[in-house]
Every structure is written in structure tokens, then in C-alpha cells.
Amino acid sequence: MRRDPIEMPHVGRWRRGPQASFAAVTILAAVVAGAVRAQPQPAKPLPPKPGIQNAPPPPASQGSPTLLGNGPHGAMPATEQLTRLPGLFPKEADGHPPAGVADAFWSVLVPKDNSFDTKRVALGRKLYFDTRLSRDGTVACATCHDVSRGFTDRRPTSEGIDGKLGRRNAPTSMNAMFFTTLFLDGRAASLEEQARLPIVNPIEMGQPDGPAVAKVIGAIPEYQRDFAAAYGRPVNYEDIGRAIAAFERTLVFLDSPFDRFSIGDAGALSDDAKAGWALFNGKARCSTCHQFSSNSPIGTNNKFHNIGVSARHQDFGKLARTALTALEKNNSKETMDQMALQTDLAELGRFVVTRNRSDIGGFKTSQLRNIGITSPYMHDGSMQTLWDVVDHYNKGGEANPFLDGGIEPLALSEREVDQVVAFLFALTDKRFAEQNASEQDRQHALSRKTRPFRDDAVANRKKLPFDPPTASKP
């Protein structure tokens, strides 16, 4: 990503150069840390491709919220989702950068062949909610990226045509424009490419190829007119992706309590959230990968890391050998896309794209914006609460030969875990304040009942991650 001084993409705030922003945030963290130390606060299946073996998806995790709607695949019907958009965006896109994105940064993020235009945004909005993109007419982008659910589907893994379940959790489409690569393994280089691939994936939208979906959409008179107006040519697969990406670039949500706190509103964060922000930059080491800066307002370094999520149930070495054999026969984008969603090879993450040993089990650092309303977490949706996520990091992930060197036990106390979680919930845009509060209550209640990833002995180094199990006495 570009590193020269540019304005901070933010809602009237953090619009200085990256060095000034970084210095301000660092000073703020130090001040908060001092205040916290001085005044402690109480915690509140398809036929397999050659060399690829399909496997049934893992069972859904327990404790997930009941969110099934009455639309196809449990989504809220598209007509109802569309009625919610005006509440989130009272002002229609007018051809200018979305609120919160500085002009200089915007010029870097928007590709030359898909310049921002109101007609393209309007066309992309129609396509985003249109199930006719799918082979059976039941799946739209909004099926897995539902407006009512934080632009995700709130499932461990997503459901496509014919009720087929994939192997990956659906990331939110909010703020997706800020990523340098798309999908959890980075196999798409742009929003445009990301928008196209699900259309032709056999278990997502299931179209046989790009020309097939272009033929379906191109037979609709309304779309004939819209594509001619937006792109000056007939409907085609590439422009379908461009239009959807144009709409997705309007889904910017960067106005949270943390942002108000960052410009001097000390009352915007609770005492626990302030303590959590200090821990985030210190003992908890979150900022090592989840950085907030001029070039990354969403809290990601855009890199890939093995943090051991899959190590509980996978043999990475065996999977990597299987993947290499399959990719020697066919290393097309479509093959990688199917590996990511249809087989156990999904657990290899970035390795399937690069085939570099250091990328085995590595997944992209997720954004932290609006994380409170986008559970479940991790690439496989295996963690139901933010307490689970912090517990996982607190014990240093799951031991495996490819674990990132920066992942190690943190020795966070229970109070400190609560404080980090409080800060993470403070990263949700104010437009979702009510939903965020409800979800925080739900997750807190669940965390008091079950903590499947908590291991205080490993977190405090009383037990080493690679120690063999203690033999039981006769």
C-alpha cells in the first residue's frame, strides 16, 4: 500500500499526515495507560476436482444468535434490506468520496477503469441485491452480506445455491475498499475481482461462467439501459463486477465512539474501553497487526498470519502436499476459489495462493471496525464471542509448526480480557449503536456460561503450548 503522506480517510478527523496521526495515537495511548494505572476501574458437495477431496463442512458452533430471516437461505428479503439503506445513508452517493474518505486517499483506492460515478453506484446497488445473478435465482451478494446483519450473514460458514455450505466465514462488505487484497486468503487483487468470483463458484451463485451470467442479466431491458448509461456498452461479466464494486465503495462506516475519543472527547469511551485501548497498544499486543493509521483506518496491516485457528483439527503438512499436487494439474483462479470454499484445503489459507511454506495456515488480518456486530469470528466462524477471540490470543493461539513467531501467551487477567473486549465494541459505527449494545449483552452473557478457548495455565506460562498431556495416574 502507498506510504507517502496523505490525508487520513476519516469523518472530519485524523486528517493529518500519517506521522502526525501515529504520534497523536501513541501519545494518547500512553496518557490512557497512565490514567488506568493511577485509577483502576472495575471490569464490566459437488463432484471433486482431480486431486481435491471434498469433505463435509464442520458443524455450526454452539451459541450463535438466531438470525434466520424469511428470505432465501435465511437472509432478510432483499426488498426489506433495501428499505434499511436510507437510514444508513440519508444522502445518496453524489460522485464524491464517501464521508470519512479524504480526496487524496480516494484517488488511490479507486481504479482508473472504474471511476466513481452515480450511475455506476446505482447499477451496482441493483446488482448487489439481485438474486438473478445466481444459477437458481436464490442467491445475491446481499444473501451473505446482509444489511441487517452488519453486511455479513452471521453464520459460521455461508450457504449458497441448493443449500450448499462453504468452508469460510463471510467477512463484512463494510469498509472492504480499504483492503489491499480481498478474500481471507487474498486471492483477489481488487473489489472488482472479488465481486465476480462468487458468481461462478459452484457452491455460491453457481453460474457456469462469466458469459452465462452476462447473458441472463443482458436479457433484462432495465439492465440493458443501465449498463449503457453507466459504462457505454452492453452487459458483460467484467462490468458486472465493476458495478458491484462501485456500490461497495460507498459502504464506509468509520464513525465510532473510539473516533470521537481520538479527537478529544474523553467521555466517548467507558473507563473499561479506555483501559482496553491502553492494553491494545501494550500488553495485549493487538496493535502489532491491527494498526490504525492514515493508510489503514480499519485496523489491519493487510498481511497474512498463522494464528493456529485450524491447528486444533488439521494436519497442515499433509494438506499442503495435497494442495500442491492439485495445483500442478490446474492452478487457475477458479480452482483456487473452489479449494477455498469446498474442501479441507480451505484451512491452508494464503498458501494456496502463493505456495510459499511460510504462508501455510495464514489468513489475512481482519479489520476491527464494527467487529462487535459481525460475529462469529475467524475464517471458519469457530469463535462465537470476542471473549473467545481474546482468549485464543491470550494463550498464544494453537501450537503448530507454522505458527507466526509473534503469537505468544499474553498473561492477560480476566479483568484485562474484559477491558480489551470493551474497547473492541467501541469500534462500531454509531449507526449500529443499538445493535452493538444488544450484541455486547448477548456475548457477555454467553461468555459467563462458556469459554471454550480459555486456558489460563498456558496464558500465564505455567504450561507450555507444546507440552505433552500429563499422563493420568493409575
Helix intervals (H) in 137-291: 141-144, 191-200, 210-218, 221-231, 237-248, 257-262, 271-281
418, 43 contact by CB (below 8 A):
yes
73, 143 contact by CB (below 8 A):
yes
State the pLDDT at residue 3: 35
| CA gap 214, 224 in Å, rounded | 11
State the pLDDT at residue 343: 87
Q: In whole angstroms, how far apart are CA 174 and each of 178, 297, 333, 462?
A: 10, 12, 24, 41
231, 239 contact by CB (below 8 A):
yes
State the pLDDT at residue 355: 94
Which of these, 58, 35, 32, 57, lies nearest to 46 by C-alpha position? Answer: 57
What are the two backbone dihedrals, phi and then psi, of residue 349, each rounded to the nearest 5 degrees?
A: 60, -130
State the pLDDT at residue 68: 62
Q: C-alpha grid cell for residue 289?
A: 497487526
| CA gap 78, 124 in Å, rounded | 14
Which of these, 399, 373, 396, lies nearest to 386 by C-alpha position? Answer: 373
State the pLDDT at residue 47: 39
| CA gap 6, 83 in Å, rounded | 36
pLDDT per residue as tens, the chain (474 positions)? 333 333 333 333 333 333 334 344 443 444 444 444 334 343 343 334 333 344 444 444 444 555 567 888 999 999 999 999 999 998 887 778 877 788 889 889 999 999 999 999 999 999 999 999 999 999 999 999 999 999 999 999 999 999 999 999 999 999 999 999 999 999 999 999 999 999 999 999 999 999 999 999 999 999 999 999 999 999 999 999 999 999 999 999 999 999 999 999 999 999 999 999 999 999 999 999 999 987 789 999 999 999 999 777 778 889 999 999 999 999 888 888 888 888 889 999 999 999 999 999 999 999 999 999 999 999 999 999 999 999 999 999 999 999 998 899 999 999 999 999 999 999 999 999 999 999 999 999 999 999 999 999 999 999 987 666 554 443
Task: Quickly tell me which residue has 437458481 as its cell.
Answer: 136
206, 183 contact by CB (below 8 A):
no
Burial per residue of 193-221, b for 16 or more beta-carbon CB atoms within 10 angstroms, e otherwise = bbbbbbbbbbbbbbbeebeebbebbbeee
State whether residue 192 is helix, strand or coil. helix
32, 24 contact by CB (below 8 A):
no
CATH class label, 257-308+363-459: mainly alpha
Query: pTM for this structure?
Result: 0.85
Q: Does the bond joining 376 to the residue before it have cis omega, within 30 degrees of 0?
A: yes
Q: Tell me which amino acid residue 66 is.
A: T
Burial per residue of 319-334, b for 16 or more beta-carbon CB atoms within 10 angstroms, e otherwise = bbebbeebbeeeeeee
Query: Other CB atoms closer than 10 Å to residue 468's CB: what's the count?
Result: 6
Q: Tell me whether domains 72-248 and 257-308+363-459 share a fold.
A: yes
Question: How would you write 297-308 as a 3-class SS string?
Answer: CCCCCCCEECCC
DSSP 165: B
- The domain limits of the chain are 72-248, 257-308+363-459, 311-359
State the pLDDT at residue 16: 35
Q: C-alpha grid cell for residue 372?
A: 462487535
Contacts of 86 (CB under 8 A, 6+ apart): none
227, 117 contact by CB (below 8 A):
no
| CA gap 343, 338 in Å, rounded | 8
Say if residue 179 is exposed, middle or buried (CB neighbours under 10 Å; 0-12, 13-18, 19+). buried
389, 377 contact by CB (below 8 A):
yes
State the pLDDT at residue 34: 44
414, 451 contact by CB (below 8 A):
no
Tell me the CA end-to-end span of the chain in Å, nearest whole number: 59
State the pLDDT at residue 156: 96
CATH class label, 72-248: mainly alpha
Q: Tell me which amino acid residue 170 is.
A: A
Which of these, 371, 272, 368, 290, lies nearest to 32 by C-alpha position? Answer: 272
State whether residue 149 is helix, strand or coil. helix
